[in-house]
């Protein structure tokens, strides 16, 4: 309906209808949106243009346009720092954390949305309140726990990818459970019951009926979990060593050397952003849909 109304012949009646706003409003909208687009795109432009500049261009006064276009920075980044290794580490850590987090959140959200049981309120409140904890409060204790577990059982969590995966997947759990529980609640219970009648157990009903029906919400949660793990800095800076260092720490070190090759740093920033941004933009409609049906009630 809206699409037919946005290009009407301009009659007085049309202009008063809610889908065709008055002219002044459209001007304000145009100005606001243009300014906002500029603000949003400015760093993206700087990142892209600087990554194609030779070193002289980024060491002296800033220029909007490169004096010459070069792809050298994109070739050099792999040699100046072990970017490929950081990249692999980040992929493994973020990928595994996302998989586990989504699976565990599906189970927990199913329990919260479909069952009545003692301690449910306590569980949801506790899980949600962990969102409030300052990371700095449990950084050192968690570090000590990992070291102690390593010393007593030989399972190396500190300095390993496994420890980081455990940490990150827990970071995204509260929000994922909360959102999926809302989403599952919007899947009609009759579907579950139909599955029971067909001979499915609860898990069968969950994975054959509820999960497919709630797929947008699950995709949204997966995107969120991946981004959380891909972008985290604080715990990665303490919990990783040279071989397990992830992109967040590696790139930060790259940008705080004494002589910063800004063109290379920008190229590296762009390279590490592409997978997440592409994935996010592809899946963003699910995120909006997921928020509409799940969290926002």
Residues 208-227 that bind another protein (CB under 8 A): 227
N-terminal to C-terminal alpha carbon distance within the chain? 25
State the nearest-atom distance from the C-beta of 55 to another protein, in Å: 11
State the nearest-atom distance from the C-beta of 196 to another protein, in Å: 5
How far is 34 from 240, CA to CA, in rounded Å? 42
Q: 239: which 2 tokens?
A: 């919990």
Closer residue to another protein, CB minimum distance, 3 or 242: 3
On whether the CB atoms of residues 247 and 87 are closer than 8 A, the answer is yes
Please state at what angle helix 161-185 crosses helix 83-114, rounded to 10 degrees: 40
Counting contacts by CB under 8 A, is residue 41 touching another protein? yes
Site for another protein in 275-294 (CB under 8 A): 276-277, 280-281, 284, 287-289, 291-292
State the nearest-atom distance from the C-beta of 71 to another protein, in Å: 19
Site for another protein in 224-263 (CB under 8 A): 227, 230-234, 237-238, 247-248, 251-252, 255-256, 262
Return the residue matching tokens 């969102």.
131
Q: Kindly report the CA angle at 65 between 60 and 71, in degrees rounded to 5? A: 85
Site for another protein in 136-195 (CB under 8 A): 136-142, 144-145, 166-167, 169-171, 173-174, 177
The H helix count followed by the E strand count for the chain is 16, 0
How far is 212 from 196, CA to CA, in rounded Å? 16
Q: Which stretch in 68-76, 79-87, 180-188, 269-277 sits in contact with another protein by CB under 8 A?
A: 269-277
């Amino acid at each position: 309906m809206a699409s037919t109304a946005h290009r009407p012949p301009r009659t007085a009646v049309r202009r008063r209808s809610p889908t065709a706003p008055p002219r002044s409003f459209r001007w304000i909208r145009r100005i606001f949106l243009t300014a906002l687009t500029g603000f949003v795109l400015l760093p993206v432009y700087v990142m892209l243009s600087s990554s194609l500049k030779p070193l002289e261009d980024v060491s002296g006064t800033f220029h909007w346009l490169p004096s010459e276009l070069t792809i050298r920075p994109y070739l050099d980044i792999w040699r100046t720092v072990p970017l490929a290794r950081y990249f692999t580490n980040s992929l493994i850590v973020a990928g595994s954390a996302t998989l586990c987090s989504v699976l565990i959140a599906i189970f927990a959200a199913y329990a919260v949305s479909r069952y009545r049981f003692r301690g449910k309120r306590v569980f949801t409140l506790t899980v949600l309140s962990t969102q409030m904890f300052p990371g700095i409060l449990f950084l050192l204790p968690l570090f000590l726990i990992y070291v102690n577990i390593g010393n007593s059982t030989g399972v190396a969590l500190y300095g390993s990818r496994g420890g980081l995966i455990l940490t990150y997947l827990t970071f995204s759990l509260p929000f994922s459970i909360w959102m999926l529980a809302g989403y599952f609640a919007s899947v009609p219970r009759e579907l579950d019951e139909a599955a029971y009648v067909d001979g499915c157990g609860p898990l069968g009903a969950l994975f054959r009926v509820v999960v497919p029906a709630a797929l947008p919400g699950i995709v949204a949660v997966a995107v969120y979990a991946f981004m959380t793990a891909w972008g985290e800095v604080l715990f990665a800076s303490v919990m990783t060593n040279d071989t397990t260092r992830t992109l967040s720490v590696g790139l930060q070190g790259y940008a705080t050397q004494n002589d910063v090759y800004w063109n290379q740093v920008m190229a590296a920033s762009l390279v590490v952003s592409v997978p997440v941004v592409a994935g996010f933009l592809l899946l963003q409609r699910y995120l909006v849909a997921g928020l509409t049906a799940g969290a926002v009630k």
